[in-house]
């Protein structure tokens, strides 16, 4: 069992008042809050051993390099990657996806097909549209049903030997749907296609095992899992990372440079041109240690309790529609909903005055909103440091906003 009050005390921001009210932070899907230990690791780096990495013989440079590479090992271990060099540091999920899309430019042929799910964030749609446009490839969509679940029979029909790549998120940011990625990966492999899983929303809630999943690429951002912004990873199987050309040219990613010809460095440096986000990488490692110290099994149990409680409470509000799976075992601790006749933005604005942070709008997933023919939703996304008392405050606030607006 988690000691929530003890955990909350580790997050300085949570004891704040916002607009004169105790903060209720339910916008974890956008970014999580950071525990003191993660904040301290950034301060410690800049206070004690700030130096550029992989290039200096001096002591500070070696300390910084060791800490950065230590973080890579922690991440490798967390995701159970076979090799540490299969973990590429990027600025986050968006950059990781763009890196792979860029690499596939040299692999895709005209007429090849890419399959993307209907549940994607724009960052896992737009790079593939851009790639298809450049290469004359075709983008196909796995449709969803009214409960925000992918229709797997339709996926089966889309797969063929023309399919080169399949893209899907592990958990949908807009609806919280937990997608059947094991099945998606296996079926793609049966036709010889590679799979990239967007784990941005899954990693705060569960611990993926990339070898057990047998996934080709898995991407995520640190900032949704207690780490800082501006850092994330691309996990790629060695055979795939070996095939893809570098994404950015510059320092660190070369073996030799002459004006006639440049040869590239080995993995992971081939994809890590320029001075990286050193403190971010180190603090990402700290965040992973922190979350593992809380324990993903306990996080899952507690967050599910919040989801069940929150769903029941929100259903008490008259005129509410909740989007996403009815079966809560297929859903992360995200509740996306609307109140009849009221624009989500108006509710978000009023409850902000009451100290409550939620996201309203299309959540960078416009195709999902188009499917439901709505402008957006109110999204309450819970983390392991949230409480049932906060859910009560939130539901009362939505009721109050509804009264003011109707």
Strand (E) or helix (H) holding 292: helix 278-294
Can you tell me the distance from the alpha carbon of 158 to that of 90, in angstroms, rounded to the nearest whole number?
A: 31
* CB within 8 Å of 171: residues ≥ 6 apart: 177, 178, 179, 199, 201, 202, 205, 332, 334
Under rule CB under 6 A, residue 94 binds ligand 7TS: yes
Instruction: Give least dist CB 231 to ligand 7TS, A.
Output: 9
Cβ atoms 248, 257 nearer than 8 A: no
How many residues belong to the chain?
Answer: 406
Q: DSSP class of residue 266?
A: P
Contact window for ligand 7TS (CB under 6 A) among 209-217, 283-291, 308-316, 356-364: 356-364
Under rule CB under 6 A, residue 324 binds ligand 7TS: no
Contact window for ligand 7TS (CB under 6 A) among 243-251, 255-263, 277-285, 357-365: 357-365
Structure token digits, residue 160? 């063929």
The site for ligand 7TS, by CB under 6 A, has a size of 17
Under rule CB under 6 A, residue 76 binds ligand 7TS: no
CA atoms within 13 A on the CB side of 106: 12
Closest CA relative to residue 221, chosen from 333, 105, 121: 121
Under rule CB under 6 A, residue 378 binds ligand 7TS: no
Under rule CB under 6 A, residue 140 binds ligand 7TS: no
Under rule CB under 6 A, residue 107 binds ligand 7TS: no
Under rule CB under 6 A, residue 33 binds ligand 7TS: no
DSSP string, 45-96: HHHH----SSS--SHHHHHHHHHHHHHHHHHHHHHT-SSGGGEEEESSHHHH
Scored b (16 or more CB within 10 A) or e, 261-296 reads: eeebbebbbbbbbeebbbbbbbbbbbbbbbbeebeb
- CA distances in angstroms from 53 to 21, 49, 73, 345, listed in the order given: 44, 11, 16, 45
The nearer residue to ligand 7TS, 64 or 200, going by C-beta atoms, is: 200
By CB under 6 A, name the one of 41, 98, 221, 279 that touches ligand 7TS. Answer: 221
Instruction: Give least dist CB 205 to ligand 7TS, A.
Output: 12
Under rule CB under 6 A, residue 123 binds ligand 7TS: yes
By CB under 6 A, name the one of 363, 386, 390, 393 that touches ligand 7TS. Answer: 363
Marked catalytic residue, from 132, 203, 226, 364: 364
Contact window for ligand 7TS (CB under 6 A) among 14-22, 44-52, 118-126, 258-266: 118-126
Under rule CB under 6 A, residue 78 binds ligand 7TS: no
Closest CA relative to residue 269, chosen from 101, 69, 46: 69
Instruction: Give least dist CB 49 to ligand 7TS, A.
Output: 27
By CB under 6 A, name the one of 54, 78, 121, 331 that touches ligand 7TS. Answer: 121
| Nearest-CB residue for ligand 7TS | 173
By CB under 6 A, name the one of 92, 228, 276, 325 that touches ligand 7TS. Answer: 92
User: Is 203 tagged catalytic?
Assistant: no
Q: Segment 148-207, which members bind ligand 7TS (CB under 6 A)?
A: 169, 173, 198, 200-201
The nearer residue to ligand 7TS, 64 or 358, going by C-beta atoms, is: 358
The nearer residue to ligand 7TS, 64 or 195, going by C-beta atoms, is: 195
By CB under 6 A, name the one of 2, 30, 51, 107 that touches ligand 7TS. Answer: 30
- The maximal CA–CA distance of the chain, rounded, in angstroms, is 72
Can you tell me the distance from the alpha carbon of 121 to that of 125, in angstroms, rounded to the nearest whole number?
A: 7
Residue given tokens 């969509």 in the structure block: 141
Chain contacts with ligand 7TS (rule: CB under 6 A)? 29-30, 92-94, 121, 123-124, 169, 173, 198, 200-201, 221, 359, 363-364
Residues forming the active site: 364
């Amino acid at each position: 069992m988690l000691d929530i009050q003890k955990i909350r005390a580790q997050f300085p921001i949570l004891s704040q008042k916002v607009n004169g009210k105790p903060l209720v932070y339910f916008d974890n899907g956008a970014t999580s809050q950071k525990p003191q230990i993660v904040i301290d690791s950034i301060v410690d780096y800049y206070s004690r051993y700030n130096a550029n990495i992989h290039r200096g013989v001096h002591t500070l440079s070696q300390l910084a390099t060791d800490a950065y590479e230590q973080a890579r090992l922690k991440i490798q271990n967390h995701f159970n990657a076979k090799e540490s060099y299969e973990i590429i540091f990027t600025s986050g999920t968006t950059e990781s996806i763009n890196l792979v899309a860029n690499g596939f430019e040299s692999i895709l042929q005209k007429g090849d097909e890419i399959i993307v799910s209907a549940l994607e964030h724009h960052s896992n749609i737009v790079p593939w549209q851009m790639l298809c446009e450049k290469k004359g490839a075709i983008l196909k969509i796995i449709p969803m049903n009214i409960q925000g679940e992918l229709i797997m029979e339709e996926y089966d029909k889309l797969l063929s030997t023309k399919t080169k790549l399949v893209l899907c998120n592990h958990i949908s940011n807009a609806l919280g749907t937990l997608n059947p990625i094991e099945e998606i990966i296996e079926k793609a492999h049966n036709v010889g296609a590679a799979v990239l899983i967007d784990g941005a929303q899954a990693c705060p809630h569960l611990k993926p095992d990339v070898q057990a999943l047998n996934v080709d690429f898995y991407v995520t951002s640190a900032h949704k899992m207690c780490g800082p912004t501006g850092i994330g990873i691309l996990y790629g199987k060695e055979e795939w990372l070996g095939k893809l050309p570098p994404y950015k040219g510059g320092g660190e990613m070369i073996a030799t440079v002459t004006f006639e010809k440049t040869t590239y460095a080995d993995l992971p440096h081939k994809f890590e041109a320029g001075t990286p986000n050193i403190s971010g990488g180190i603090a990402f490692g700290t965040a992973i240690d922190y979350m593992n110290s809380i324990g993903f099994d306990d996080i899952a149990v507690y967050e599910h309790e919040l989801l069940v409680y929150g769903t029941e409470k929100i259903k008490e509000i008259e005129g509410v529609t909740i989007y996403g799976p009815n079966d809560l075992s297929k859903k992360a601790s995200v509740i996306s909903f609307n109140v009849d006749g009221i624009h989500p933005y108006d509710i978000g604005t009023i409850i902000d005055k009451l100290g409550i942070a939620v996201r309203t709008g299309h959540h960078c997933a416009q195709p999902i909103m188009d499917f439901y023919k709505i402008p957006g939703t109110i999204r309450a996304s819970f983390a392991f440091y949230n409480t049932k008392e906060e859910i009560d405050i939130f539901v009362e606030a939505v009721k109050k906003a509804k009264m003011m607006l109707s």
